[in-house]
Chain A
Amino acid sequence: QAVVTQEPSLTVSPGGTVTLTCGSSTGAVTSGHYPYWFQQKPGQAPRTLIYDTNIKHSWTPARFSGSLLGGKAALTLSGAQPEDEAEYYCLLFYSGARVFGGGTKLTVL
């Protein structure tokens, strides 16, 4: 089974910009991996922010955006807010199966 990798932790200043990445042990991440991004706060169920690389749900704040960057999937947060402090997980598709990354703990400080 493929391994999906994320930065364990990142810190961003309020109002700042940060990019989280999502890599695959099988090689470059492409649109064919249909990258997803989820936000999870302590004690809560995950919330899907982005799917299919860059498509947002109606509830996804405009400050979040998804892309492919340097062979990885990327989630960029522009104008971080205190409420964005959370764990962020990516997910990639592999021939019908799905694999989550290890998560990135984002601190807004």
Chain B
Amino acid sequence: QVQLVQSGAEVKKPGASVKVSCKASGHTFTDYAIQWVRQAPGQRLEWMGWIIADNGNTKYSQKFQGRVTITRDTSASTAYLELSSLTSEDTAVYYCARDQKGGSPPNYYYYAMDVWGQGTTVTVSS
């Protein structure tokens, strides 16, 4: 069964960092890319960035540049999102989603967002 399982809820103080994990199972991790999306309470979805699982290349939303780091551990089939300098505005549910890989070398592209994690609630409060 193809799925993405995320780590549990986190409570952090302002100024701290948080690291959320997204473990893939049921498919070959390095054949895909992982997107990270968050949703503050009652707000829209917000794209944060993504990582290509096989080569580790990343791209981040300008909004989070300098504060976000996306990494992966291929041996653990797991992607990570780390967000630093947290404020109350970072209180949100954080989701990962899988992109499939299409095309052929060197012109791969990533698409579909076909599998989503269950979400991880991050609460920032003093």
Chain A residues at the B interface, C-beta cutoff of 8 Å: 1, 34, 36, 38, 40, 45-48, 51-52, 57, 89, 91, 96-103
Dominant SS among interface residues on chain A: strand
Q: How far is the CA of A96 from the CA of B35 in the complex (A)?
A: 12
| Chain B interface main SS type | strand
A46, B35: Cα distance in complex, Å: 13
Contact A101-B44, Cβ < 8 Å, known A1-B61, A45-B116, A46-B95: yes
In the complex, which residues of chain B have a beta carbon less than 8 angstroms from the beta carbon of A98?
35, 47, 50
B63: contacting residue among A1, A45, A57, A96, CB under 8 A? A1
**Neighbouring B residues of A34 by C-beta, 8 Å:** 111
Whether the pair A100, B44 counts as a contact (CB closer than 8 A) is yes
Interfacial chain A residues near B47, Cβ < 8 Å: 91, 97-100
> How far apart are A7's CB and chain B's nearest CB, in angstroms?
13
Q: Contact: A102 with B44, CB < 8 Å?
A: yes
Q: Are A36 and B116 in contact (CB under 8 A)?
A: no
- Enumerate chain B residues within 8 angstroms of A46, measured Cβ to Cβ: 37, 45, 95, 97, 116
